[in-house]
Amino acid sequence: MSLKAENISFSYDKTRPDSKKTLSNINFEFEEGRFYSLLGPNGSGKTTFLDLLTGFLKPASGTIMCDGKDINSFPKKELAQKMALVSQDYYINFPYTVREVIAMGRHPYVGRFLAPEQEDLDIINKTAIITEITDLLKRKITCISGGERQRTVFTRALCQQTPFLLLDEAFSNMDINHSIKLLNFLKKQIQATKLSIISVFHDINFAAIWSDEMIFLKDGEIITSGSSETVLTSETIKKVYNIDSKIEYNELANSKQVYFCTN
């Protein structure tokens, strides 16, 4: 399965054609079995790009293609079988149990007004073990911590079992232990199932460790993309973030890492 952005432009101010675009002339093809990281300063268009890829937003111009078909032509249920999203600011104020929230990830496969079948329940229980939230399943989503809620939403997305998993700062509320465990699990899934991941990161060093490809955005445009060995340079950091840095290979991380100049 492939996901392709063709000449995508988008602006939140649709009343002014001459207004500055949030994204401008974006072209990129995401292939199966790869881990992509979207990076860039605040306001560079990372979350907007994810919202366009999922069909939540529609581009002002250009097309998002999934296996050669415009994603806006897919029925919502069919599109939900192709991609799942973990957002950075998921909030729900209705006291569903954690299990009920996770079960929402199986809705694309369950008939209308029908209860989940045993296969769906097995997937929920198995995935909850992976994300280490089995002890939370009977708790109310409104009565758990932010990190626990984030792992709940992550579990729900994994239960969708989609070819594409989109992550918008999905690890921002998690502790380092669970973040590393989930990232390692995702890398194994990429190898085993050809899962494709598109993840927004603010932590460049985290992205460098787990990414197959890093995509740097600034002012709504892709500045550069490629492996960390290729694009993670002091010149890139200066151009994108306007800060001086030193880049070195770190044996413990098994990747390049960025050290920022604070003076």
Asked if 225 and 28 touch (Cβ cutoff 8 Å), the reply is: yes
Instruction: Give all domains of the chain, ordered by start, each with its CATH number.
Output: 1-82+162-226 (3.40.50.300), 97-161 (no CATH)
**Rounded Cα distance, 175 and 9, in Å:** 35
Up-side HSE of residue 192: CA atoms within 13 Å toward CB? 7
pTM of the model: 0.93
Taking only the tens place, the pLDDT of each residue in 126-137 is 999 999 999 999
Residue-level pLDDT at 92? 76
Torsion of CA 98, 135, 152, 103, to 10 degrees: -50
Q: Report the alpha-carbon distance of residue 195 to residue 71 in Å, rounded.
A: 18
| Tokens 């078909």 -> residue | 69
Under 8 Å between Cβ of 1 and 81: no
Q: What is the pLDDT along the chain (263 residues), one digit of tens a residue?
A: 789 999 999 998 765 555 678 999 999 999 999 999 999 999 999 999 999 999 999 999 999 999 889 999 999 999 999 999 998 776 777 888 999 999 999 988 886 656 778 898 999 999 999 999 999 999 999 999 989 999 999 999 999 999 999 999 999 889 999 999 999 999 999 999 999 999 999 999 999 999 999 999 999 999 999 999 999 999 999 999 999 999 999 999 999 999 998 87
Phi and psi at 75, nearest 5°, equal: -60, 145
